Amino acid sequence: MAIIEEPLALEAGEDAVARVERPLGDLTRPQADGSWKDWLFTVDHKKIGIMYGVAAMFFFVIGGAEALLIRIQLATPNGTLLSPEVYNQVFTMHGVTMIFLVIMPLAAAFANYLLPLQIGARDVAFPRMNALSLWIFLFGGIFLNTAWLFGGGADGGWFNYAPNSSVTFSPSNGIDFYALGLQITGIASLVSAINLITTVMNMRPKGMTLMRMPIFTWMNLVVQFLLLFAVPVISIALFQLTFDRLFGSVFFNTEAGADPLLWQHLFWIFGHPEVYILILPSFGIISEVIPTFSRKPIFGYKFMVISGVAIGFMGWGVWAHHMFVSGIGPISVAAFSLSTMFIAVPTGVKILNWLATIWGGRLRFTTAMLFAVGVVSMFTIGGLSGVTHSIAPADTQQTDTYYIVAHFHYVIFGGALLGIFSGFYFWWPKMFGYMLNERIGKWNFWLQIVGFNVTFGPMHILGLQGMSRRIDTYDEDFGFEFWNLVASIGSFIIAAGIAIFFYNIFYSRSQWKKAGMPNPGPDPWDARSLEWMTASPTPEHNFDEDIVVEGPDEFWHRKYGYDENHNVVRIATAEEVAQDGSNTNVHLPSPSYYPIVLAAGLPIIAYGLIFSLWLCIPGAALLIWGMVGWIFEHPDDPNAAHDHHDDHHDDDDPEALETGDDDDDAKELVAASADAGDEN
Amino acid sequence: MSDAVLTPDDVAGHDVAAHDDHGHHETNTGISNNKLAMWLFLSSDCLLFGALISTFLLYRTNISDNTVWEEPADVFDIPFTSLSSFILLMSSLTMVLALSAVNRDDQRNGRIWLLTTAFLGMVFIGGQVYEFTVFREEGLGFGTNTWTSAFFTLTGFHGVHVSVGILLLLGTVFGTRKSGLGKEKGETVELVGLYWHFVDIVWVIIFTVIYLIPIG
């Protein structure tokens, strides 16, 4: 990592800035000056993580508003708030937003912020590519939502089955926005997957072996591998859809003999690993929270790791259980039934291990812990209803009913989202330097969990009664009125809970300011992993000096030892162990303009593909400017006295070999441009 | 990840940050960050082509709705495509020679072989453009049937990959005019080579699947 104890001195009599030749369009590298530009051009993984979180919460409000519209429409029979056409768009955009623009980026927020910290690194392997992922995701998400301004959102459901997604059945541009928007966010996921895997595999400090990494890091490593292999499959499906809709190919045109199952297979080969992409980060979060507040190490660390990896592998062999009613034949149905039952085993191992960690622990029911326990219980319900889907005859009854809606909300809301809220309360002091108020937090938790169960619990009953999903209204005498009304009331209880969370952020912040901004200290929870071993909020350089790791839960074992009776005793305070973040001489990678420039090109190209190919020219120009500028960008701000000596390769000392910094960046870009080029 | 205290040697114009940043120092796997990232990208690309090839396999017998042919073999010019395939495979050889020259610090030959590789790639792309043109003139459009959709998409994606490879090769040759293409650039050339070989291997599969296996 980029660490120099002191800034490099300028060579006498030379002005490094003036000596650098600047071709057209080559910008001086931006410098940190404490303004908003620090955020826009940052390559710091912590700022990028926070921006991921802010952007995702913004989309969360949009997706939540869409959910409330759905519930208002369904609260009473023959609802008239939304027309059937608008209703289709609202539930489609709700699903797409929540999955791709909320849960995935929230997980990315935590992964970005915490992965380098938890392994004891100073940044990710490719800081600029990290910024690139953020901006591509953000622009892709905004692009997707601008569909509302151009004739309406996608209306084919989040999985958007062909041939229902063809121009014939969906003539607006909504599905074009869906296909291109998800394509763009897919690039973001791919870039960040490559980056984070490289970081975890390559940048661990001395002693941090793979089997000493925190479970959160492990689960995210598995997720990044899933993204790496799942995203290209959906990319191809989306390309085929785009080509069909815009350029006249016939991949999904059944009149030309196309197989309507092609989309379903490609989508679900991506889609089922996607389920684990959504849930595993949350599993990782509560695997940090539960041991901390049980004051015990995680039960069966190796089993936790191996079961996570096993889920990652087996997740590739269950996709067709989404397709039991599509006529794939009895042998396929039987095979996928079995594999679906099997994948419940490693998940069950995890639930057992969390319970065993809690068992006999000295529990502290902080808000973070409450949310974590909420995940264990709610995900168990969702997991069990998932197992009922593996029984194909039952699934045939339940398919496309509210039973399915109930199931996946128990998994994604009850599992993934509650886990993320647990992470908010747990890591908030580390990220922002103040604690979220616990009393308000508990209101937040109880409203959210009660509202959640009131909303989605009744949907099991509605589904078994035969209420089909994606239906925009129902008649009075179907017997659906009561539970629908209950569910709608529940959805507003959830909304109240979320509103309290936002209130908590501002309330806690103002209380903290009133109290003279006390620092929560490096380790407010008496936690176990390395991110707590540096100051709060995390200093820009993460760690003052590299940590030498001697075992799992390194930080804990520096605080606690054993006395002669083999009892655990505290041997040091957190403040004694933790680094105070006072090292001001750490050299960090400079900010860069080019990630945001490069990313801005993509949505413009996408608008061009939909509306006028001419628009692709400025889009491509931005893209190329971003790439070329990226390659030739100076690795440092000019004041770092960065000079180019062309004669370095004559130097005999191998340590002193000047490899040419432009070239180093070029290599970094080889991967990036290959990514981007491949999507052209 | 070392503590990287500046030594006097470093101050003499060497950028420790850049060294450390880009994986010249030890990594846990022993593979530099850049190379690991390239391998990861290529493994992801396997799934990209996997999905495309699967689609083609699904549609390879679906050749309805056209008046041009009984079966694809009627329009294929196998000797021509075999020749362009041979040229592409030979470009892997020249790529190896380029890497070998760069690793020997033989800048001149390194550049020559890189340019040769790029040239052979361009010949291949030229052949593909020619083939597409012939197909179109014979009346096979993108949307004629599912076979043509799958065919043009699969070979088109491969063509885009080759083109990106050509840009990387040319970028390596012309982007290092000032800094030189000595053996310290070996890894850059190796990364471009990894990508190039991957694209060639994929073509071997595509060529077999599309051109050589008859429709039974």
Q: Could you tell me which residue, B81 or B17, shows the higher pLDDT?
A: B81
Place of tokens 């002669």: A564
Complete DSSP assignment for A162-210: TTTTSTTT--SSHHHHHHHHHHHHHHHHHHHHHHHHHHHHH---TT--G
pLDDT at B64: 66
pLDDT at B10: 37
pLDDT tens-place string over residues A346-387: 999 999 999 999 999 999 999 999 999 999 999 999 999 999
Largest interatomic CA distance in chain B = 77
pLDDT at A26: 59
CA A468 to chain centre: 30
In 10 A of CB A582, how many CB atoms? 8
pLDDT tens-place string over residues B8-48: 333 333 333 333 444 345 788 999 999 999 999 999 999 99
Q: Could you tell me which residue, A173 or A36, shows the higher pLDDT?
A: A173
- Is 70 exceeded by the pLDDT of residue A239? yes
Confidence of residue A637 (pLDDT cuts 50, 70, 90): low
- Is 50 exceeded by the pLDDT of residue A640? no
Confidence of residue A633 (pLDDT cuts 50, 70, 90): confident
Rounded Cα distance, A655 and B138, in Å: 61
Q: What is the mean pLDDT of residues B174-182?
A: 88
Rounded to a whole number of angstroms, the distance from the CA of B106 to the nearest CA of chain A is 13
Rounded Cα distance, A667 and A388, in Å: 49
Could A243 and B13 be called an inter-chain contact, meaning their C-beta atoms sit closer than 8 Å?
Answer: no
Q: Which two tokens stand for residue A210?
A: 């793979």
Chain B residues in contact with A636 by the CB 8 A cut-off are 15, 17-18
Confidence of residue A624 (pLDDT cuts 50, 70, 90): very high
Complete DSSP assignment for A503-563: HHHHHHHHHHHHTT-----S-TT---SGGGGS-SSPPTTS-SSPPPP-STTHHHHHHEEE-
A20, A267, A659, best to mutate vs chain B, most B CBs in 10 Å: A659
Give the per-residue SS3 of chain B.
CCCCCCCHHHHCCCCHHHHHHCCCCCCCCCCCHHHHHHHHHHHHHHHHHHHHHHHHHHHCCCCCCCCCCCCHHHCCCHHHHHHHHHHHHHHHHHHHHHHHHHHCCCHHHHHHHHHHHHHHHHHHHHHHHHHHHHHHHCCCCCCCCHHHHHHHHHHHHHHHHHHHHHHHHHHHHHHCCCCCCCHHHHHHHHHHHHHHHHHHHHHHHHHHHHHHCCCC
Q: What is the mean pLDDT of residues B133-149?
A: 88
pLDDT tens-place string over residues A289-322: 999 999 999 999 999 999 999 999 999 999 999 9
CA A329 to chain centre: 36
CA B23 to chain centre: 24
- The answer to the question of residue A169 being in a domain is no
Could A202 and B191 be called an inter-chain contact, meaning their C-beta atoms sit closer than 8 Å?
Answer: no
Confidence of residue A645 (pLDDT cuts 50, 70, 90): very low
pLDDT tens-place string over residues B149-171: 999 999 999 999 999 999 999 99
Rounded Cα distance, A287 and A353, in Å: 9
CATH superfamily of B32-212: Cytochrome c oxidase, subunit III, four-helix bundle (1.20.120.80)
Single pTM value for the model: 0.89
- Strand, helix or coil for residue A570: strand
Rounded to a whole number of angstroms, the distance from the CA of B197 to the nearest CA of chain A is 14
A167, A204, A235, A236, best to mutate vs chain B, most B CBs in 10 Å: A236
Q: What is the mean pLDDT of chain A?
A: 88
pLDDT at A25: 55
Q: Say if residues A656 and B14 touch (Cβ distance below 8 Å).
A: yes
Task: For chain B, give every domain's residue range.
Answer: 1-30, 32-212
Q: Say if residues A234 and A323 touch (Cβ distance below 8 Å).
A: no
Sign, Cα dihedral of A105, A107, A113, A115 = negative
Residues near A210 by Cβ (< 8 Å), separated by ≥ 6? A204
- The answer to the question of residue A614 being in a domain is no
Phi-psi group of A127: left, alpha or beta (phi > 0 → left; psi -120 to 50 → alpha; rest → beta): alpha
Chain B residues in contact with A586 by the CB 8 A cut-off are none
Could B20 and A673 be called an inter-chain contact, meaning their C-beta atoms sit closer than 8 Å?
Answer: no
Strand partners, A570: A560
Residue A185's nearest CA partner among A244, A253, A124, A234 is A234
Chain A residues in contact with B153 by the CB 8 A cut-off are 239-240, 243, 249, 251
Chain B residues in contact with A656 by the CB 8 A cut-off are 9, 12, 14
Rounded to a whole number of angstroms, the distance from the CA of B94 to the nearest CA of chain A is 20
- The answer to the question of residue A241 being in a domain is no
In 10 A of CB A328, how many CB atoms? 16
Rounded Cα distance, A544 and A433, in Å: 18
pLDDT at A35: 75
Q: What are phi and psi of A560, to 5 degrees?
A: -125, 145
- The answer to the question of residue A566 being in a domain is yes
Helix ranges (H only) for A120-173 are: 127-145
Chain B residues in contact with A674 by the CB 8 A cut-off are 38, 41, 164, 168, 195
Residue A59's nearest CA partner among A135, A141, A148 is A141
Q: Can you give the residue range of the structural domain that contains A559?
A: 530-577
Rounded Cα distance, B155 and B139, in Å: 18
Rounded Cα distance, A388 and A382, in Å: 10
Nearest to A194 among B31, B41, B182 (CB): B41
pLDDT tens-place string over residues A403-455: 999 999 999 999 999 999 999 999 999 999 999 999 999 999 999 999 999 99
- The answer to the question of residue A541 being in a domain is yes
pLDDT at A678: 37
Q: What is the mean pLDDT of residues A616-637?
A: 87
Helix ranges (H only) for A412-480 are: 418-432, 438-465
Q: Say if residues A321 and A390 touch (Cβ distance below 8 Å).
A: yes
pLDDT tens-place string over residues A564-617: 888 888 888 888 888 888 887 777 888 899 999 999 999 999 999 999 999 999
CA A338 to chain centre: 30
Rounded Cα distance, B42 and B161, in Å: 11
Q: What is the mean pLDDT of residues B97-107?
A: 95
Look at chain A and report how many structural domains it folds into: 1
What is the ipTM score, two decimals? 0.88
